Chain A
């Protein structure tokens, strides 16, 4: 089996005094789509932030392409080739759609060109001059994904990209993730939409109370067991 691209060992994280992650262990291999599933408040978002170096304090080990990142600031981690799409989307209201799209710096070659991004998301070309936050929720989500495809990052951290979106848009995003996987992107996906997760992922980690409690191959995903974890 291939070497893991991202390897997380005994990851602990704190917001101020509150201890949120209690030793997360998981890995993502080159070219995989892996999900973190779990109930609200389980620590999925915090895990992505901790991988990105965006929490107050963290300990343990997070290696990316054999580089230990636990002591690096988030701008250095990003430059290793990890890109982050936050749960709240993080579209900048003082920037146009076009400015939002090219804001993340290109960190290495191999990312999508602007033309390719526009091909995937034609709406963003049409709305290029609008204020970023004037887009609909679905369009903002597209923009949040689109802008991290240009940078040359090979690992994408996507936090609930389907949250609050209409079923056709969720489908569209599913199709896009499929295309990104084909292009060789590796994706760590946080989801609460169980059906969506099963449709796109290779493996699932189940998160409870800041720990990984189970790992399930998609091919062996027993719907009922996973649904039990999610409480749906």
Chain B
């Protein structure tokens, strides 16, 4: 059997793949958080709940309406995005004039309420969600066995991140978004409907979280607590990467997933805490984060 530093290659690769998959979720989630924070100045604590809702809506679509995975991959994020739009219009909008602590508290409260509703309805044991037939099974790469669905998640998450990045950096809408992030009052005085841009951005960020939730549904059981489990780590990822940079949050997400995976191989005891240790170190050395602009 091939080994690397005394670890079987199979095990190493397996953990790296798991790390990449977690990293994919971190990346998509922190991307949405960074977008929302940039324009709304709100730390969206409901992000984990929106991720969980994406997974649940996919599950409900299948269980109650027979809607398959592929369609759910489109419909569920749209639904979560729509819920996001309603939240922004009805609630968040009233808070922009206040300290952004209020936005944090409101979204935190919303997360608790949403989570509670799903717990009430479905308990906490979780629902299984099958990967689509096309992506069941796997292929033998020689040095490891690659479950198809996991490969798909990594690729699709990467593609989504790159598409969002390109849209922000290379399109006119992206330029408006970047400009409004810097100086919303001036962009509005140029005739741009900035409140609409804000609503759209929050909806889109929520939809991204829902999308990550659908991707995750076949990997883990669909569970009301899945959001709050992952979102704590994602906040650490965002702190490490820095809120300022879109590409930074994507790179940090994937990178930390990998580091977490490697830690599971070489020092499993630390795998649950390694990201927080890195966060503490980054905060000491570069408080604005690795890619963040210094305040």
Interface of A is mostly: loop
Q: Is the CB of A94 within 8 A of B182?
A: yes
Given contacts A95-B179, A103-B175, contact A74 B185 (CB under 8 A): yes
- Of all chain A residues, the one with the shortest Cβ separation from B179 is A92
Separation of A220 and B189 alpha carbons in the complex (Å): 35
**Provided the pairs A92-B179, A95-B178, A103-B179 are in contact, do residues A86 and B191 lie with their beta carbons within 8 angstroms?**
no
Residue-wise, chain A 35-77 has the 8 Å CB interface mask toward B (1 for contact) of: 0000000000000000011100000000000000000011101
B172 to chain A, nearest CB (A): 8
Please give the number of chain A residues whose Cβ is less than 8 angstroms from any Cβ of chain B in the complex: 25
Taken residue by residue from 132 to 165, chain A's Cβ proximity to chain B (1 for < 8 Å, 0 otherwise) reads as 0000000000000000100100000000000000
Interface residues of B (CB under 8 A from A): 172, 175-176, 178-179, 181-183, 185-194
B190 touches A78 (CB 8 A): yes
Taking a contact as CB atoms under 8 Å apart, the answer to whether B191 and A79 are in contact is yes
Known: A78-B190, A104-B190, A151-B191. A54 touches B185 (CB 8 A): yes
Distance of A157 from chain B, by nearest CB (Å): 9
Q: Which of A78, A79, A93, A151 contacts B182 (CB 8 A)?
A: A93
Whose C-beta in chain A lies nearest to the C-beta of B185? A54
B169 to chain A: closest residue by CB: A94
Question: Does A205 count as interface, using CB distance less than 8 angstroms?
Answer: no
**8 pairs of A and B residues whose beta carbons are closest in the complex:** A78-B191, A104-B190, A94-B178, A74-B189, A92-B179, A90-B186, A79-B191, A99-B175
Q: List 18 A-B contacts (CB under 8 A).
A: A54-B185, A73-B188, A75-B188, A75-B189, A75-B190, A75-B193, A77-B189, A84-B190, A92-B183, A95-B178, A102-B172, A103-B176, A103-B187, A104-B190, A104-B191, A105-B190, A105-B191, A148-B190
How does the 8 Å CB contact mask read for A90-113 relative to B, with 1 for contact and 0 for none?
A: 101111000100111101000000
Please, which residues of chain A bring their CB within 8 A of the CB of B188?
Answer: 54, 73-75, 78
